[in-house]
Structure 1
Amino acid sequence: MNEIRTPKTGKAKRVLEKRAPKLVETGKKTLILHGTKTSATVSSFLMELHRLKKGGAIKYSRRNENIRPFEAGGETSLEFFSQKTDCSIFVYGSHTKKRPDNLVLGRMYDHQVYDLIEVGIENFKSLLSFSYDKKIAPHEGSKPFICFTGEGFENVQELKQLKEVLTDLFRGEVVDNLNLTGVDRAYVCSAISPDKVFLTHCALKLKKSGTIVPRIELVEVGPSMDLVIRRNRLPNESLKKEAMRTSKDNPKKKVKNVVQDAVLGKQGKIYVPDQKIEEMQLVDKSKGLKRERKEAKLKQKEEAEETASKKKKVSAE
């Protein structure tokens, strides 16, 4: 049995509240790890990835011998690091004779491995190998555009999975509104073949277009590389069903005295207070009553005139 520890300090309580499930999740953090052996290409990519995701990534520089994502029992250390750092995505770099310049990209759900995809790095170009105007250099922590070109991202299962993983890796925090002037970078992914993708990082240069929307030019700032798909593992159906469960952000409030019927539709009950009809003055505007009232007034007037004339005769006598 696992021991359930309750927080004893205010700081521990705040940490648990921050890690608790939310209706609207914040940006996913990335865990960057080194394998037993890494090449210069892999080390350079991991370092530049940490730089691109500054503020949203945690990098461990120590080499890990126990992590074998695709092998049974090789995920224990990975899940431990995920729970320790509260990271939902991981990038694991290694280098062997069988799989040179190797990267394993994966996602976690509830600190358990959700899915995995393994790619190899080819034709790698570092940030330092690009020359451009430093004024258009992307700012750290800015939200990027992500562009996927090629039919393979819609037809090939491995490319579909790679598209989902790369989107979660680079998109950052999900927002409703976006200021165009604050978007200064883009990741362009092109499907060259069913098992090869070209990935590059570009800066956005805004120019005048004569309209409200400016004209955008892409300036390659690096890094850029070819990703060759090697192995992949799709999520378990039961775990996928649990992970895809969603909740409404703004649940509808229950409306009182309203019932939805399949035949009659929407029905409602209206509260009417007790009416004391005996004490109420009923207004009747029918024409017949008006005519009777006029005739009664005329009779009263005639009778009053008759009585007045009689009194005058009596007084005259």
Structure 2
Amino acid sequence: MLKVKTPKTGRARRELEKRAPKLVETEKKTLILHGTKTSHVLNAVLTEIYHLKKENSLRYTRKNDSIRPFEAGGETSLEFFSQKTDCGLFVVGTDTLNAENCAKDVNVICTFGSHSKKRPDNLVIGRFYDHHIYDLVEVGVENFKSLQSFSYDKKMAPKMGSKPLIAFVGEGFESVEELKHLKEVLLELLRGEVVENLNLAGLDRIYVCTAVSSNRVFLSHCALRLKKSGTVIPRMELVEVGPSMDLVVRRHRLPNEGLRKEAMKTASEHTKKKVKNVKGDPILGKTGKIYIPDQKLGEMALPNKARGVKRERREAKKNKDSNGQVPKKQKQGGLSTPST
């Protein structure tokens, strides 16, 4: 277990407050590590990931013999690095081709050493929760192509720090458990900062993840070209700028149900209050019910001056005139006018 130290200075307290959980979390930093032995391909892959997330990533180039994901006791060093660097994601690359140490017991789960021959160019991606391992996904890298292997107009190169689009193509991301888990991890790794509004002119890149089979995903990085379409919305074209690779899912470990519920808790300030008698319909939209009390019209008091009273009086006066009754003489009074 890691030793927990209480802050003794104001600077240390402020630093801990920055790392404390927030209602709206900022973009998670990515920790990039090397395993016991890494090949030339894995070094290139880790370098490309670091350049794609340069603003929010931290890389250690030294070899780490004590980091062993999927093995009891081999995750302490990862948790130490998470607490030290305040990173929420990690990427570990391992590759060892030692045929003499190949184990025959399939129940032994070990990323390093005995099982390494079966898993060349191994990449482990995972997430932290409260500086502890939350979940793990182990993939193998095949058919890797770096940025330098693509030729295109350099003016179209995506800008550093721009918000990317992510497209997942294939039914496997909805039906296969391994690919569903890989989709969650790739979203956390590639999406960048979560925003509510986005300017269309700032979209210049997209990650396309295609489910080729039940355990293989083709990942490519493309630039977006905005062209005229005759309407307000421009037409977009994809130009592959790299890197691209095939990710073969080997092992994955989901979080237990108790840890998942604790990590998915929503703050009380962000919970929406339930509105009575209001429902949402996909066709009608927002609908509601209004309750009106019974209207007792018989007991309602009419106003003193009704609109129909004057008309009735005029009609009665006309009836009297038609019957030959002489109307009453008006009173004569006031000043008399002189005759001319």
Bin for the TM-score computed over the shorter chain = 0.7 to 0.9
Q: Distance in 2 between matches of 1:4 and 1:13?
A: 11
Q: Which amino acid aligns with 1:217?
A: E
Indicate the residue corresponding to 2:264 in structure 1: 244
**Corresponding residue for 1:229?**
249
Comparing 244-253 with 178-187, which one deviates more in the overlay? 244-253
Give the Cα–Cα distance (whole angstroms) in 2 for the partners of residues 129 and 165 of structure 1: 27
**What are the superposed Cα offsets for residues 113-156 of structure 1, whole Å, 9 maximum, x if unpaired?**
01101000000000000000000100011110000000000000
The C-alpha deviation readout for 1:237-296, integer Å capped at 9, x for no partner, is 11111111111445689xxxxxxxxxxx99xxxxxxxxxxxxxxxxxx968xxxxxxxxx
Give 2:181's aligned residue.
161
1:57 pairs with 2:57: yes
Partner of 2:332: none
Q: 1:176 to 1:248 in 2, by over 3 A?
A: farther
- The equivalent residue for 2:132 is 112
Aligned partners of 1:93 and 1:101 also within 8 Å = yes
Q: Where do residues 7-156 of structure 1 align in structure 2 (5 Å cutoff)?
A: 7-10=8-11, 12-97=12-97, 98=117, 99-156=119-176
1:214, 1:248 → 2: CA distance? 41
Partner of 2:299: none
Letter in 1 for 2:131: H
Amino acid of the residue matched to residue 70 of structure 1? F
CA distance in 2, matches of 1:168, 1:57: 13
Distance in 1, Cα, partners of 2:199 & 2:43: 34
Q: Which runs of structure 1 show a deviation greater than 3 angstroms over 4 or more consecutive aligned residues?
A: 1-4, 248-253
Q: Is the CA contact 1:32–1:90 (under 8 Å) kept in the aligned structure 2? A: yes
One-letter amino acid matched to 1:78: L
Residue in structure 2 matched with residue 170 of structure 1 by the alignment: 190
* 2:51 alignment partner AA: R
Q: 1:178 to 1:249 in 2, by over 3 A?
A: farther
Quick check: 1:210 aligned with 2:211? no
Counterpart amino acid of residue 102 in structure 1: N
Q: Number of matched residues? A: 257
- In the alignment, which of 201, 207, 220 is matched to residue 181 of structure 1? 201
Does the 8 Å CA contact 1:206/1:215 hold for their aligned counterparts?
yes
How far does residue 75 in structure 1 lie from its aligned partner after superposition?
A: 0.3
- Please say if residues 23 and 248 of structure 1, whose CA atoms lie closer than 8 Å, have aligned partners that are also in contact: no
In 2, Cα distance between the equivalents of 1:189 and 1:129? 20
Aligned partners of 1:24 and 1:249 also within 8 Å: no
Amino acid across the alignment from 1:187: Y
| Two-structure CA RMSD over aligned residues (Å) | 1.9
- 1:34-76 CA deviation, whole Å, 9 max, x = no partner? 0010001100010111000011110010110000011000000
3-state DSSP of counterpart to 2:54: coil
For the residue of structure 1 that corresponds to 2:66, the secondary structure is coil
List runs of 5+ in structure 2 lacking aligned partners. 98-116, 274-289, 292-302, 306-340
Query: Which secondary structure does the structure 1 equivalent of 2:69 belong to?
Result: coil
**Whole-Å Cα distance in 1 between the matches of residues 153 and 8 of structure 2?**
51
Q: 1:6 maps to which residue?
A: 7
CA shift, 1:9, in A, is 3.2
In 2 relative to 1, CA 252–72 (structure 1 residues): closer, same or farther, beyond 3 Å?
closer
Identity, % of aligned positions:
67
2:30 is aligned with what amino acid?
Answer: T
